Amino acid sequence: MIQIALLCTRAASEERPTMSEVVQILYTQLAAERWEEWQQVEVTGRKDYETLQRSFNWADDSINNLEAVELSDGR
């Protein structure tokens, strides 16, 4: 029941089960399968976020790099 409750509190509405799916899950053994399916989605999403975050680490580095930067001559 806790797993079903957690599925129902997902941030994205398309990742949450409908009420008819919840009823079906409660009356069948699909809860474990659905939980694992959504866990895979969560793991994949987390990996994608971490990859994206790493690709923007240069921005953090440039904020912390206080060395003077010389610009090229006027154009």
- The vertex-55 CA angle with 51 and 61, nearest 5°, equals 130
Cβ distance 1 to 9 under 8 Å? no
Average pLDDT for the chain: 76
Residue 38 is which amino acid? Answer: W
pLDDT tier for residue 19 given thresholds of 50, 70 and 90: very high
What is the pTM for the complete model shown? 0.40
